[in-house]
Structure 1
Amino acid sequence: MLAVVSWQVAVDGPLLALDTAVRDGVWRTRHAIGSPLLNHLGVALSDLGGGLVAVPVLLACAGPAAWLARRGGRPRWWVPVPVAAAAAVLVPLLVVPAKVWFARPGPYGDPLAADQWGWYPSGHTATASIAYGTAALLLARVLPAAAGRWLGAAAALLCLGVGAGLVWSDFHWLLDVVASWCLAGLLLLGLHRLLPRLLPDRDAGSGRDAGSSPSGS
């Protein structure tokens, strides 16, 4: 999906008609409802994807995750801290070059100024999804399974809310948001599979030792 959407944005393909239809539909709905509360809520949700909010939350969650890992006697208990820092650095490294390369105008259609990056993909969506998703994965690794599932669901709802707020407020096209969800999903899937190796269970080493012993055999 990420490849298809990026291709359509690059060639100004017919799929972009979906963006126009959603923008116009949201504009009509917003003015038909005429609710300042909903409009403020859309802006507030959008702001949750800003780096000044999402990145501190990610780094703040890494500390308790490392503390719980150390308390649980896990080897490499400190791993959550560098993982969180790497995730925070990775967002601009991936998003900013893509914005510059695609140079897509925003929903208002105004040409990009000389000091502006493009709108594709959505930086706020990518920041929120990677930051809150990474925080949830790190904490889920050291918390009971039920708590981890609740954290994952909460992070997913929060990221959906950020994307909805951006589209509702005309800050981004829908496909800008969808592309960032896809990009973040790929990164989080990789982290989900890698975390058991980076932050193994406390008895992982003893289990291997037991398996190699004569009694274990």
Structure 2
Amino acid sequence: MPVVLAVALLLVSWQVAVDGPLLGLDRWVRHGVRETRHTLHSTLLNHFGKAFSDLGGGSVAVPVLLLGGAVAAWREFRAGFARWWLPVPVAVLTAGLIPLLVVPAKAWFARPGPFGLPLAADQWGWYPSGHTATAALGYGVAALLLARTAGPRERRVLAAAAAGLAAGVGFGLVWSDYHWLLDVVASWCLGGLVLWTLARWPLTGRPAARRRRPER
């Protein structure tokens, strides 16, 4: 999985950098989405698209991430974990990591948005999608932290919710014509690589061993 994600991210980034033929997929998808949106003429779908894209904003996903870290720490404290406090700094560091991963890439690639307008002097560019990366890492890391003290069924629900939110944000951005498809795909790959790495890092350790009372 990490190899597939890394190769896909490198391939898409290379094509964006050289304006390669793979970008034709972006134009084809955008044309198809615009035709579908025009044919359906659904105000409800348009509202859903905007609402989903807004879920990738820092004002929504980052508070969920920080709350998830706090709840995870509380649950691990109740469960007797030795390093129960660690989910809080992990959540805080993740919130700071997102712009560090996205903003330099946006500035370097300086890709115009779907409308093709030239970038203004104070704009970073559209590639990769910041909202998608924020959703993938914000909801994904929150789910990973909460999953440490969850049962199998709850872990599946957390994973499905995080994946569904990240996918929904990507759909909303493309449907609303806010981003090219490959902007979204790149951020999915980037978020997946970070989550795969974090899932294999022993964040909290095992519950602290309880002392036995001496037998009389």
TM-score, normalised to structure 1, is: 0.92
Q: Which residue of 2 aligns with 1:191?
A: 198
In the alignment, structure 1 residue 173 sits paired with structure 2 residue 188: no
**C-alpha distance in 1, partners of 2:181/2:91?**
28
Quick one: which amino acid aligns to residue 205 of structure 2? P
What amino acid is the match of 1:190? Answer: T
SS at match of 2:200: helix
The correspondence of residues 11-160 of structure 1 with structure 2, limited to 5 A, is 11-160=18-167
**Equivalent position of 1:202 in the other structure:** 207
What is the rounded CA distance, in whole Å, between the counterparts of 1:188 and 1:50 in structure 2? Answer: 19
Once the two structures are TM-superposed, the CA of residue 61 in structure 1 deviates from its matched residue by 1.1
- In structure 1, the partner of 2:3 is none
Q: How far 1:200 moved relative to its partner?
A: 1.3
Which residue number corresponds to residue 213 of structure 2?
A: none
Counterpart amino acid of residue 200 in structure 1 = G
Deviates more, 1:58-67 or 1:5-14: 58-67
Aligned residue type for 2:9? L
Q: How big is the shift at 1:145?
A: 2.0
Q: Secondary structure at the match of 1:84?
A: helix
* Alpha-carbon distance in structure 1 between the residues aligned to 2:89 and 2:194: 16
**More relative contact order, 1 or 2 (CA 8 Å, 6+ apart):** 2
Distance 2:156 2:146 in 1: 10
Write the letter of the residue equivalent to 1:180: S
RMSD (CA atoms): 1.0
Counterpart Cα distance in 1 of 2:34 and 2:73: 45
Alpha-carbon deviation of 1:63? 1.0
